[in-house]
A = this chain, B = another copy of it.
Amino acid sequence: MFNIAIMGHGTVGSGVVEVLTKNHAGIAAKAANEINIKYILDIRDFPDLPYSDKFIKDFDIILNDPDVQVVVEVMGGLNPAYDFVKKCLLAGKSVVTSNKELVAAKGGELLEIAKENNLNFLFEASVGGGIPIIRPMSQCLAANEIIEILGILNGTTNFILTKMIDEGMSFDDALVLAKQLGYAEADPSADVEGKDACRKICILASLAFGRHVYPSQVATEGITKITSVDVAYAAAWGGVIKLIGKAVKLEDGKLDCCVAPMLVKNDNQLSSVTDVFNAIVVRGDATGDVMFYGKGAGKLPTASAVVADVIDCVKHVSARKYLFWDEGYTDYVIDSDQGEAAMYVRCKTADSAEAATVIRDTFGNVEFLFCKEAPAHEITFITPKGKISEINKKLKSLGALLEVIKTMRICE
């Protein structure tokens, strides 16, 4: 029998108990050991559960119990999760977490402590919910050099964008619906402003390229400014708008990494990822594009990823998994306008015909977009691919004739 403790009994925590209970026999066979939940840590009371006797409120009970070799952290948030996880690792306990905020901010440090103590610190559930991505990236793609990662990493924003695209809803109405369906929280800012996607691309980029990328280093833009008109222009171009997390390794070893709404062509696999689904494309030098797709959130998908990590810990209690990255450094991620992209540019202008001539003279081969939803006195186009700072400089040079309302990257 193998004792574990679970810290947190919210959505994911209760899901972990459910999965461990429901698939008990199959899990014991796969772990080659029976897994027993010895403690559940939560500040709240849960008097009416069949396992109410397992609840404790004092973290030190877990910390000081040598019987507990694996601790599951599903509290979320940085504090006290960071303090608790660090203490567990220092006390010789392996840790499994679904906490993307923790891993994105402190993953490098915690992996280092785990390595020094020959323990596992696993976090499959922190990205993509139930989609296997951390382990395939670290193991299956071990023989590849990863060139780029592109992903739809947040289900809430993807749901909202899908409703805007498929049903012509406004952002506000789609957000209200997402809240009604339980896909968006009362305070949806972490989702709609891209912070959640930012944490996930940080974790993926850190793992893929071997060095910690901190959320503060990644230019992050949400979807709150996307309107039905942008959606219509994108359709006219033959694509859709998706919130994309992107990380590309550059020749000098630095990264181009950002989160932003981008235009995705309809023949790109990512364009058909709708509703609350997530998808992550990993571009390897040998494999080419490999995509992982599924529900990126939800109680049972996330819990099943946590439990898979627990099984791995139990099976390999004395053998560390290869999962590691070095600390980051200040200018490891380039400024976002130093990256390259073709850009969607939407402008106001009093004279469309003259504006079109000036745009062509400035950018060369552009593609103008027309749609019936376009407001009067607007001109919208796609620039050729170039350094974003150069494109911005050219846009400024257009002078009084054109007022830029919005720009977005084209996703390749």
Interface residues of A (CB under 8 A from B): 19-20, 23, 26-27, 30-32, 124, 129-132, 135-136, 139-145, 269, 272-273, 284-295, 298, 300-301, 303-308, 310-312, 315-316, 319, 322
| A131 contacts across to B, CB distance below 8 A | 287, 290
Contact B23 A145 (CB under 8 A): yes
Once the chains are docked, how many angstroms separate the CA of A110 from the CA of B129? 34
CA distance A292 to B281 in the complex (A): 10
Across the interface, do A286 and B315 meet the contact criterion of CB distance under 8 Å?
Answer: no
Given contacts A27-B142, A135-B135, A312-B139, contact A294 B287 (CB under 8 A): yes
**Once the chains bind, are B132 and A308 in contact (CB under 8 Å)?**
no
Q: For A287, give its contact among B31, B286, B304, B312 (CB under 8 Å).
A: B304
Instruction: Given A135-B135, A319-B319, answer yes or no on A144-B288 (Cβ-Cβ < 8 Å).
Output: no
Copies, count = 2
CB neighbours of A130 from chain B (8 A): 284, 286-288, 290
Beta-carbon nearest neighbor of A134 in chain B: B140
Check if B141 sits within 8 Å of A132, measured CB to CB. Answer: yes
Query: Out of B135, B272, B291, B304, which one reaches A143, CB within 8 Å?
Result: B304
Once A135-B135, A135-B136 are accepted as A-B contacts, the answer to whether A145 and B26 lie under 8 Å apart by CB is: yes
A293 touches B269 (CB 8 A): yes
Point out the residues of chain B lying under 8 angstroms from A287, CB to CB. Answer: 129-131, 294-295, 300-301, 304-305
Closest chain-B Cβ to A394's Cβ sits at a distance in Å of: 35
Contacts of A305 in B (CB 8 A): 140, 143, 287
Could you tell me the distance between the alpha carbons of A300 and B139 in the complex, rounded to whole angstroms? 17
Q: Are B301 and A294 in contact (CB under 8 A)?
A: no
In the docked arrangement, what's the CA distance between A312 and B303, Å?
26
Q: A27-B142, A294-B289 are in contact. Are A316 and B319 (CB under 8 A)?
A: yes
